[in-house]
């Protein structure tokens, strides 16, 4: 079931990717029996590039991200950093990996220590990893980092506590803390979903600047396809459903011409901030709204009980593999693999 070749392991220039997830699987034992939260996921992340991981809750996005960050050990497959499996690294190399990959959590109200000032929060990793020597240098560096995330002038923020800041400001502090160790990759797990719409774009703009100026790579996890579209327009997007990647490709193609029935259902379902456009939206043709339980996954393609293209015998037999259906865009669907992307047009409602 290794499908490394379907998700290009290296970029166009043939460089080795900085980080890869190869056939990564995570199984959890629960009261309801063992469940596979992430199943055979292949991904690669490079500096300066954005990889969006989208999906509904329970699709395994966060579990995949935790494994990429080395916060959870996969039950199968390999996570590599700089070409080496992170779980076979020696102490020193593991520390390099930890410094190189930083995590920005969803909830800036929970991820910042309420009893520490912003200065203490930001200087802690600087001191711990010996990046700076002496208090003055630490303050200096903290001020630079706050400027980097648009918290200016930094003197206004250094002595404040998290409760004195707004949600957007807190999330900026969380990003500044992630930047303390010059990371190569930032894993942003729903980092803007708690923020008000009005400030979401400015936080994303700031992240985009870090990507371009500091050449930071992003694993950007979100349930909001509009946000993935905005932040990942020049990158790639992987759509997850019940632990597996069902579609992968350049973001504009995923959004504007999805080739998996699930991706298309998602995009059709999202209301648009435009009264005329949104009238064209609807839950088109889905056979069921219920998401199957991870403990009792349907046989074959796990989307088959809901899929409008379902064909008995074909879809409920074996799990479909990702296969390229357009240049750079691959889809795990038996029907599309057989009939081509035109299959998706078949269930178009008669206007």
| Site residues for other proteins per CB under 8 A | 56-57, 166, 168, 196-202, 205, 223, 225-227, 229-230, 233, 255-256, 265-267, 269-278, 281-283, 286, 289-291
| Joined tokens for residue 15 | 């460089």
Name the residue nearer to other proteins (CB basis): 76 or 282.
282
Name the residue nearer to other proteins (CB basis): 57 or 345.
57
Q: Helix axis angle, 135-148 relative to 118-128, nearest 10°?
A: 110
Residue 154 beta carbon to other proteins: minimum distance, rounded to whole angstroms: 17
Beta strands in 13-124 (DSSP E): 19-30, 33-45, 50-54, 76-81, 84-85, 101-104
Residue 306 beta carbon to other proteins: minimum distance, rounded to whole angstroms: 9
Name the residue nearer to other proteins (CB basis): 1 or 283.
283
Alpha-carbon distance of 99 to 185, in angstroms, equals: 9
Beta strands in the chain (DSSP E): 19-30, 33-45, 50-54, 76-81, 84-85, 101-104, 185-189, 217-222, 236-241, 244-250, 323-326, 329-331
CB 326 within 8 A of CB 249: yes
Residue 223 beta carbon to other proteins: minimum distance, rounded to whole angstroms: 7
Long-range pairs for 11-15: beta carbons < 8 A, 24 or more residues apart? 11/44, 11/46, 11/49, 15/46
Residue 204 beta carbon to other proteins: minimum distance, rounded to whole angstroms: 8
Name the residue nearer to other proteins (CB basis): 111 or 192.
192
| Joined tokens for residue 72 | 């959870």
Name the residue nearer to other proteins (CB basis): 125 or 305.
305
Listing DSSP states for 59-89 in one string gives: SSHHHHHHHHTTSS--SEEEEEETTEEGGG-
Residue 6 beta carbon to other proteins: minimum distance, rounded to whole angstroms: 25
Residue 248 beta carbon to other proteins: minimum distance, rounded to whole angstroms: 18
* Residues present in the chain in total: 351
Residue 255 beta carbon to other proteins: minimum distance, rounded to whole angstroms: 6
Name the residue nearer to other proteins (CB basis): 169 or 331.
169
Name the residue nearer to other proteins (CB basis): 134 or 275.
275
């Amino acid at each position: 079931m290794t499908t490394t070749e379907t998700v290009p392991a290296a970029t166009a220039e043939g460089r080795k990717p900085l980080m890869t997830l190869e056939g990564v699987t995570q199984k959890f034992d629960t009261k309801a029996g063992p469940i596979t939260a992430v199943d055979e996921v292949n991904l690669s992340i490079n500096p300066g590039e954005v990889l969006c991981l989208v999906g509904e809750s329970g699709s395994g996005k966060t579990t995949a991200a935790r494994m990429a960050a080395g916060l959870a050990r996969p039950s199968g497959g390999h996570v590599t950093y700089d070409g080496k499996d992170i779980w076979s690294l020696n102490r020193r190399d593991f520390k390099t990996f930890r410094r190189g990959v930083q995590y920005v959590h969803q909830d800036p109200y929970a991820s910042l220590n309420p009893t520490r000032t912003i200065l203490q929060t930001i200087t802690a990793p600087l001191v711990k990893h010996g990046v700076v020597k002496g208090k003055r240098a630490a303050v200096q560096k903290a001020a630079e980092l706050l400027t980097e995330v648009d918290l200016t002038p930094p003197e206004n923020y250094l002595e404040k506590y998290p409760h004195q800041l707004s949600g957007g400001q807190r999330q900026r502090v969380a990003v500044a803390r992630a930047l303390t160790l010059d990371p190569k990759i930032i894993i942003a797990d729903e980092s803007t979903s708690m923020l008000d719409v009005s400030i979401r774009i400015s936080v994303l703009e700031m992240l985009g600047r870090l990507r371009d100026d500091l050449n930071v790579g992003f694993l950007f996890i979100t349930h909001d396809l509009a946000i993935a579209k905005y932040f990942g327009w020049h990158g790639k997007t992987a759509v997850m459903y019940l632990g597996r990647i069902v579609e992968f490709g350049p973001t504009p193609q995923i959004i504007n011409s999805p080739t998996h029935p699930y991706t298309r259902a998602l995009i059709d379902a999202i209301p648009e901030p435009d009264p005329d456009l949104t009238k064209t939206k609807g839950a088109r043709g889905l056979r069921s709204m219920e998401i199957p339980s991870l403990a009792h996954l349907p046989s074959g393609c796990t989307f088959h009980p809901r899929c409008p293209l379902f064909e008995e015998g074909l879809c409920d037999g074996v799990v479909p593999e990702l296969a390229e259906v357009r240049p750079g865009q691959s889809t795990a669907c038996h029907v599309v693999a057989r009939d081509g992307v035109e299959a998706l047009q078949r269930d178009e409602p008669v206007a």
